[in-house]
Amino acid sequence: MEIENDGLLGAWNISADGSVEAIGWESLDDPTPINGWRWVHLHRDGPRAQAWLLEGATPPDTLAWALMAEDTRPRYTEIEGKGLLMLRGVNLNEGAEPEDMVSVRMFIDTSWIVTVSMRRLAAIAAIAELCHAGRAPASPAAFVEQLVQELHLRVEPVIDELEEIIETHELHALSDTEPPDARTRTAFTDARQDAVMIRRYIAPQSATLRHLSRHPPHWLPSGELLSEEAEAFERIVEDLDNIRERAAVLRDEMTARMTERQNSIMLVLSVVSVIFLPIAFVTGLLGMNVAGMPLTETPSGFLIISGILLVMASASAMLVWWLLKR
């Protein structure tokens, strides 16, 4: 995400009557609308954005440092009566991998929300479009609820795609007798790794939403909607666990197929070696350049030796066949 306007990606005053006013740097420290609230969206690496976070009165200094943390994990904390909420969303930016999840850090109060991110997050962009259209959430609580819904809507198609990949490989594993090719193994491995990486953040995010729904902070009148979203994220965690378990079984099946194929190849090579080992011994023995070699003066010596070698090869083959049948 490009750093524009010194890190100010957007700021809006949302009034009690539902009207939305876009504002700039010069208005960020003005009083918030009466019975309304203000949303400020910043790029973490913007120089002026960092200065405003650290030197301004909103948010408190302790929360400002947390908003600019290098790495974050979904959680909710209250400091000095103000809320700090950190969430993650799948990365739907062009050329990015969905499992490389984007962090959004939020300072929340009854009349303020400050969001900070390092990359574009589709869920935040969707709410920004609502603000541009004059349909902003009515309160900071409604903003959080809308954001959680947007995150949920965007992660589900990614999970469905991972399930389809695993299901496709399961069908191939059950129907094909040959071991999987390199492309199949790579696609399966990527899907399994994606599930593990997404679960890393979805699981604590689900727990965070469940905590907020059971213990609503002062800025959240009711945790009912977040309770539903927490349930939805818990189902996603269960789906990811199911994908990992199915992937483990499928991996074992792939390994067994490849081991079986390798054993078959080694068996063929061993059979060929057993059949031709006596022949190689005799031909090597007769190839010695010493006196007294048999049949050297006999016109039909070659045919006799060839017949002996054929009998030895046939006997070796019959011995191998008998051993394999046992």
Annotated domain spans of the chain: 5-258, 269-325
Question: Which pLDDT band, with edges at 50, 70 and 90, does 159 fall under?
Answer: very high
pLDDT digit string, tens, across residues 96-121:
888 899 999 999 999 999 999 999 99
Whether the predicted model's global pTM rises above the 0.75 cut: yes
Which pLDDT belongs to residue 157? Answer: 93
Q: Are strands 112-117 and 102-108 parallel, antiparallel or unpaired?
A: antiparallel
Residue 105, C-beta contacts closer than 8 angstroms, at least 6 positions apart: 44, 66, 67, 68, 69, 72, 84, 85, 86, 115, 116, 117
Under the banding of pLDDT at 50, 70 and 90, the label for residue 287 is: confident
Average pLDDT value for residue range 60-85:
88
CA distance 224 to 55: 36
Report the chain's mean pLDDT, rounded to a whole number. Answer: 86
For residue 270, give both structure tokens.
């061993």
* Domain 5-258 superfamily per CATH: CorA soluble domain-like (3.30.460.20)
43 contacts 118 by C-beta, under 8 angstroms: yes
Q: Is 231 exposed, middle or buried (0-12, 13-18, 19+ CB in 10 A)?
A: middle
Residue-level pLDDT at 176: 66
Q: Give the confidence band of 178 by pLDDT, cuts at 50, 70, 90.
A: low
Residue range 232-268, pLDDT digits in tens: 999 999 999 998 888 877 777 777 777 877 887 787 7
Residue spans of alpha helices (H) in the chain: 47-55, 61-67, 122-132, 140-175, 182-214, 224-286, 301-325
Angle CA(127)–CA(132)–CA(134) in degrees, nearest 5?
95
pLDDT at 74 over 70: yes
User: Is residue 216's pLDDT more than 80?
Assistant: yes
Instruction: Give the architecture (CATH level 2) of 269-325.
Output: Up-down Bundle (1.20)
